[in-house]
Structure 1
Amino acid sequence: MKLYNIKDRNEQVNFIQATKQGLGSKQGLFFPVDLPEFNSDKINNILKMNFIDRSYEILSAYIGNEIPVNTLTNCIKNAFSFPVSIKYIDNNIYCMELFHGPTLAFKDFGGRFLAQILSHFIDDEQITILTATSGDTGAAISHAFHGIKNIRVVILYPKNKITLLQEKLFCTIGGNIETLAIKGDFDTCQLLVKMAFNDISLKKSLSLNSANSINISRLLAQICYYFEAVAHLPKKIRDNLVISVPSGNFGNLTAGFLAKSLGLPVKRFIAATNINDTVPRFLENNIWKPKETISTISNAMDVSKPNNWPRIEELFYRKSWQLKDLAYGSVSDETTKLSINALSKLGYISEPHATIAWHLLRSNLKNSEHGIFLGTAHPAKFQEIIEEITGKKIVLPSQLIKYIKLPILSHEIKPKFNALREFLLQ
């Protein structure tokens, strides 16, 4: 598999190198040179497969023979060791529940696959994973990489802007996992990470890598569950399928479009955001103008400068698709709360991010269409918010109960690059 740097097309690397490197020069994202496509017969055949075999077909279409068959198969088995669940809600709408992994969020898929790939191919190198999180990435990455030899993980997160349960899941582990509470928002954390990658001597001395969805391994892994969702649906409704994706850094939507590029029968997508609406405003007036990030109850989407958007633009350009065909919308906290209550009255308890996707799907769906919205996190991770809105008690899963009483081990540093640099070089 060859990938090129979107910002420097002369920089080309293979899949393993792109995974190890994370970003290209000039902070450029890696993107596949070749975009594989399955014909309709191939699509029908792989939709009949089980999740692991289907995922191998998808990932090997991109990776090729760069990784031996048995190695890639084992990486997939070890990473995707939990189910994708499809729940019917109401009025031709389904929820694709992606939160049945060890940290109760969709990012377990990409995080665990990335960890599997790196653990097989770093040899005796010492590498440092440096990443920013708005909540769920931190947990997924910390659990995926915990205890892996020769890998140090440093995670930045905005202090007091994620839920306590989110914080407990990844700030209590210790060992090779180090967490930094930053006074600022997610964009502040992300900027510090970018500055670290721009520091050539720092990047080289620590063998820096990133585990955000900017890493190609995480992104490709997410393609697989879109196929799994469609495989669960009756054949007669697959041709009129609309998928609503809660979007913060836009990695999930990028993966959805790559699934469509492969041949998955998706009629259209909806980019669902909260009031941090850089992309909806761009799609409306063609002006890219990020505003200051606003804190919301859908905190993982509190992103004003989504890193993966250039990949979506690149894919649309390569496929000659039109951005005007991408549906979009932004939802306020007030509307989100009303929608959480509305879903509760339908008998389904949902957290804020998925609820935003449901709200926009319901208002966009036509009579002839069927819709899926992505359930990206377990509602228990937002226990206080959900209980306050619905008046219903949320039972904590065992994954959360295990960590709730453990002390938080985070360090707090100033939102300055020199402070981060000093910490990394300790």
Structure 2
Amino acid sequence: MKLYSLKNIFKEVTFLEAVQLGLCEKQGLFFPKKIPFFKKKEIKKILKMNFFEKSFKILNAFIGNEISKTNLRKIIKKSFEHTIPKIRKIEKNIACLELFHGPTLAFKDFGARFMSQIIYFLKKKNKGKVTILTATSGDTGAAVANAFYKMKNVNVVILYPKGKISKIQEKMFCTLEENVKTISVNGSFDECQKLVKIAFNDSKLKKKIGLNSGNSINISRLLAQICYYFEAFSNLKKKYRKNLIISVPCGNFGNITAGLIAKSIGLPIKSFIASTNSNDTVPRFLKYNKWEPKKTISTISNAMDISIPNNWDRIIELFKQKKWNIKNSKYLKFGSVSEKQTKKSIKKLYKLKYISEPHAAVAYTILKKKIKKEEYGLFLGTAHPSKFKDTVEEIINKKIKLPEKIKHQKNMKSFSFSIDPKFNLLKKFLT
């Protein structure tokens, strides 16, 4: 597969090169030069396959002969064996696609584990150290740390906004040590993300420490996420597939980008909803045609507290490639939700006998507003509610039982450094 930089269309690389580079010059994201496409007959066959074979068929269409079929199957098996998605029915025509059944109880496990296995595959061919630098607004940190934990000659450095992620989220990646280092930044997620981008622009630093990214800017993470949209579609009754709409809680817009790519390669999803919290740069852009990021607002749906989403450029590019109209698009709806509305939806879902965390509640709120009688709706559950234990318990006035996966980490000591959002301080830490 050939990919090009969104900042320089003449800069072309292979899939494996794109994974190694993470980000191109001038902070350019990589994007496939040609999106593969499956005909209706092929889609029918894929939908009948198990999750691993589905994933192989999809990812092989992008990666091609860069990785042998035998090796790719091994990579997929190791990446996805503990991350099978589940569908929970909520109302007559609404269900939640739960993507949080992986090791760190968040959808980020899909992309992070696949990326780690690809990088491990590359390391067996190319010796040398690798430094994974990533910014997290919540769940990415734990997923990336877990995926690379104790991997030889791979150092992981995670930046996160101090005091702006849940205590349990923080514990899940700040207690590991070994090859994982964490830095709390005195600022917002956008400032953390900016530091990562500046680091990638420093060619000497990049070469010296073997810099790579664990964020959804890395194309391997994005491609992995396409797979669970196919799995979800295949697990629905055929009568629900005809008018399926999917509401995606959006922060960095990687999840919805993967969904739109799934549609572009032939999966017949009717439309997507880009659901945001008060950090509504994209909904305002789609409504008023003005790109005006505001100062990031801290919310209870903290993984979505992003004002300048990286992957929006990829969505623009996808729509250009497919010649879809992004304005008044029948494929992409949008909306934003206030804190008050989010809390109301958590309470409403609890009355429907479903305990939801804030991000899923945002997606559910907008789905309820947009869905039509003839449609069937899925909203994405991107993290286990226990990761937001204090917030959810306060809203529903009920104690949440912690899963065994994270119970042991709750009382562990955190090991984290703290810096102001200045690149010279980060650079000093990295070197």
Which stretch has the larger CA shift, 293-302 or 397-406?
Answer: 397-406
Q: Aligned residue for 1:173?
A: 176
Q: Aligned residue for 2:412?
A: 406
Answering whether residue 54 of structure 2 is matched by residue 29 of structure 1, we say: no
- Partner AA of 1:350 in structure 2: S
How far apart, CA to CA, are the structure 2 residues paired with 1:21 and 1:417?
Answer: 20
Q: Aligned residue for 1:12?
A: 12
Q: Aligned residue for 2:81?
A: 81
Answering whether residue 157 of structure 2 is matched by residue 154 of structure 1, we say: yes
- String of CA shifts for 1:314-348, please: whole Å, max 9, x gaps: 00011011112121011011110000000000000
How far apart, CA to CA, are the structure 1 residues paired with 2:119 and 2:203?
Answer: 22
Q: Aligned residue for 2:66?
A: 66
- Out of 393, 400, 410, the position equivalent to 1:394 is 400
Unaligned regions of 5+ residues in structure 1, if any? none
- Partner AA of 2:53 in structure 1: D
Q: Aligned residue for 1:48?
A: 48
How far apart, CA to CA, are the structure 2 residues paired with 1:392 and 1:47?
Answer: 39
How far apart, CA to CA, are the structure 1 residues paired with 2:172 and 2:159?
Answer: 14
- Partner AA of 1:406 in structure 2: M
Answering whether residue 112 of structure 2 is matched by residue 111 of structure 1, we say: yes
Q: Aligned residue for 2:304?
A: 301
Answering whether residue 216 of structure 2 is matched by residue 210 of structure 1, we say: no
Whether the aligned pair in 1 keeps the contact of 2:128 and 2:153 (CA below 8 Å) is yes
How far apart, CA to CA, are the structure 2 residues paired with 1:361 and 1:116?
Answer: 35
- String of CA shifts for 1:223-252, please: whole Å, max 9, x gaps: 000001001001122120000000000000
- Partner AA of 2:13 in structure 1: V
- String of CA shifts for 1:62-117, please: whole Å, max 9, x gaps: 00111011111011000101221001100300100000000000000000000000
- Out of 330, 335, 346, the position equivalent to 1:340 is 346
Q: Aligned residue for 1:331?
A: 337
The TM-score with structure 2 as length reference comes to: 0.98
Look up the SS of the partner of 1:149 in the other structure: coil
Which stretch has the larger CA shift, 256-265 or 199-208?
Answer: 199-208
Look up the SS of the partner of 1:271 in the other structure: strand
How far apart, CA to CA, are the structure 1 residues paired with 2:184 and 2:194?
Answer: 14
Q: Aligned residue for 1:355?
A: 361
How far apart, CA to CA, are the structure 1 residues paired with 2:249 and 2:240?
Answer: 22
Runs of 4+ aligned structure 1 residues displaced above 6 Å come to none
- String of CA shifts for 1:273-321, please: whole Å, max 9, x gaps: 0000000000011111100000000000000000000000000011011
Matched residues, number: 425
How far apart, CA to CA, are the structure 2 residues paired with 1:394 and 1:177?
Answer: 29
- Partner AA of 2:246 in structure 1: I
Look up the SS of the partner of 2:267 in the other structure: coil
Q: Aligned residue for 1:274?
A: 277
How far apart, CA to CA, are the structure 2 residues paired with 1:424 and 1:211?
Answer: 15
How far apart, CA to CA, are the structure 2 residues paired with 1:228 and 1:393?
Answer: 32
Q: Aligned residue for 1:97?
A: 98
How far apart, CA to CA, are the structure 2 residues paired with 1:128 and 1:393?
Answer: 39
Q: Aligned residue for 2:370?
A: 364
How far apart, CA to CA, are the structure 2 residues paired with 1:118 and 1:194?
Answer: 20
- Out of 253, 257, 261, the position equivalent to 1:254 is 257
State the Cα distance separating 1:203 from its structure 2 match.
Answer: 1.1
Which stretch has the larger CA shift, 195-204 or 283-292?
Answer: 195-204
Look up the SS of the partner of 1:64 in the other structure: helix
How far apart, CA to CA, are the structure 2 residues paired with 1:35 and 1:418?
Answer: 39
Q: What is the root-mean-square deviation of aligned Cα atoms in Å?
A: 0.7
How far apart, CA to CA, are the structure 1 residues paired with 2:242 and 2:153?
Answer: 47
How far apart, CA to CA, are the structure 1 residues paired with 2:207 and 2:127?
Answer: 16
Whether the aligned pair in 1 keeps the contact of 2:159 and 2:183 (CA below 8 Å) is yes
How far apart, CA to CA, are the structure 1 residues paired with 2:286 and 2:128?
Answer: 43
Report % sequence identity: 58
Unaligned regions of 5+ residues in structure 2, if any? none
State the Cα distance separating 1:149 from its structure 2 match.
Answer: 1.0
Q: Aligned residue for 2:188?
A: 185
Look up the SS of the partner of 1:295 in the other structure: coil
Which stretch has the larger CA shift, 198-207 or 109-118?
Answer: 198-207
Answering whether residue 294 of structure 2 is matched by residue 286 of structure 1, we say: no
How far apart, CA to CA, are the structure 1 residues paired with 2:198 and 2:240?
Answer: 47
Whether the aligned pair in 1 keeps the contact of 2:130 and 2:211 (CA below 8 Å) is yes
How far apart, CA to CA, are the structure 1 residues paired with 2:37 and 2:63?
Answer: 13
State the Cα distance separating 1:37 from its structure 2 match.
Answer: 0.6
